[in-house]
Structure 1
Amino acid sequence: MLEEGDRRLAADPYRIVREGGHILSLVESGKVIGVCALFKESPARFQLARMTVAPDERGKGYGKILLQAAIERARMRGATSLYLLSNTALGIALALYRKHGFHTLSEGVHPVYARCNIVMELAL
Structure 2
Amino acid sequence: MTNISIIPYDARYQPDFKRLNIAWIEQYFAVEPHDLEQLEHPEQHVLPNNGQIFFALSDEVVVGCVAVVNTGETGYELAKMAVSPAMQGHGIGKKLCLAAIEYARQFGIGTLWLESNRKLTPALTLYRKVGFNEVPSVPTPYARADIRMEIVL
Which range moves more in the overlay, 66-75 or 4-13? Answer: 4-13
Which range moves more in the overlay, 33-42 or 73-82? Answer: 33-42
* In the alignment, structure 1 residue 67 sits paired with structure 2 residue 73: no
Counterpart Cα distance in 2 of 1:37 and 1:110: 20
Counterpart Cα distance in 2 of 1:103 and 1:12: 30
Counterpart Cα distance in 1 of 2:110 and 2:37: 27
* In the alignment, structure 1 residue 23 sits paired with structure 2 residue 71: no
Name the one with the larger helix percent.
Answer: 2
- Displacement of 1:41 after TM fit? 2.8
- 1:94-118: CA deviations, max 9, x gaps? 01111111110125x9542111100
- 1:9-31: CA deviations, max 9, x gaps? 24422121133200110111011
Indicate which of 79, 83, 96 corresponds to 2:126: 96
Conserved? CA contact 1:110–1:117, under 8 Å: no
Aligned to 1:82: 112
Provide TM-score, normalisation by structure 2.
0.74
AA paired with 1:79?
A: I
Counterpart Cα distance in 1 of 2:121 and 2:109: 26
- Displacement of 1:60 after TM fit? 0.6
- Displacement of 1:42 after TM fit? 4.4
Counterpart Cα distance in 2 of 1:24 and 1:41: 17
Matches for 1:85-124 after TM superposition, within 5 Å: 85-106=115-136, 111-124=140-153
- Displacement of 1:81 after TM fit? 0.2
* Percent of matched pairs sharing the same residue: 37
- How many residue pairs are counted as aligned between the two chains? 123
1:25–1:92: structure 2 CA closer, same or farther, 3 Å change rule? same
Aligned to 2:41: 12
1:45–1:87: structure 2 CA closer, same or farther, 3 Å change rule? same
AA paired with 1:60?
A: H
Aligned to 2:67: 37
Gaps of 5+ in 2: 1-29
AA paired with 2:150?
A: E
Conserved? CA contact 2:135–2:150, under 8 Å: yes
